[in-house]
Amino acid sequence: MRNQVFMVIVATLFGVQLSYGQFLNRERLANLETFDSRPTSWGYFLGFNNYDFNFDYDREFQSDNTDVIVESQPGFNVGLIGDLRINKYLNLRLEPGIYFTQRNLTFPRIEEEADYFRAVKSTYVHLPLLLKISTKRLNNFKPFVLAGIAKSINLGSNETNPEDNYFGQFRMRRNTNYYELGFGIDFYLYYFKFSPSIRGVFATSDELVQDKNPLSPWTSNIASMKTRGVFINFTFQ
């Protein structure tokens, strides 16, 4: 969570600094005046992510010191943007991207040093469909909020791997559904529109593949495991 808080603070300060610079600009020349009247527009984004897991536990198997400890690692994302204008304040956006991340899991129930740690590396093909709700344009910037649904394909899920944690393989579902919420600011520069944004993503489906042994010390006490995360994207259109 420390990394997520840090990323939120950095994004907020960045947006505030750019907004303040816009207000201090005495010329107030309007850049890209007709940009928002286009029916469609295209672009790309670069950014950072911080994925975490939210665990729910089975009370039948839960006891003291059994919660899985998650250490989040910052990741990187890149993708494309397709934007469809609905009206002056609403846009429908498709933002397919590739997201690289790692989460380190520690299982306190296990005493053997070689077995209580799992490095979960994931490469997601992330496919969100978002509704962008904007305010009225103010000089050369315009705040907005985002909300929508998404589906991801985890290329490193190990879902079909016959080997489980007893062979050192932590397995996850390949396909996951999410909902997303976020906000950002459009900055109209001389040649292009630049839009930093921050959003939270929350999985709605269980991603854990249980070990074959119903008494597995790695998975038996876990009722569900769902991804949550923070994305910071820098969009260029």
The residue to which tokens 């729910």 are assigned: 56
List, as own/partner pairs, every contact residues 149-152 make where C-beta atoms lie below 8 angstroms and the sequence separation is at least 24, other chains included. 149/177, 149/178, 149/179, 149/180, 150/126, 150/177, 150/178, 150/179, 150/180, 150/201, 151/127, 151/175, 151/176, 151/177, 151/178, 152/99, 152/124, 152/125, 152/126, 152/127, 152/176, 152/178
pTM of this prediction exceeds 0.75 = yes
Which one is predicted more confidently, 1 or 193? 193
pLDDT tens-place string over residues 74-101: 999 999 999 999 998 999 999 999 999 9
pLDDT tens-place string over residues 105-138: 999 878 777 788 999 999 999 999 999 999 999 8
How confident is the model at residue 59, as a pLDDT?
72
Strands 40-57 and 97-106: unpaired
* CATH code, 73: 2.40.160.20
pLDDT tens-place string over residues 161-180: 999 999 989 999 999 999 99
Range of the domain at 81: 2-236
Q: How many domains does the chain have?
A: 1
DSSP state at residue 30:
P
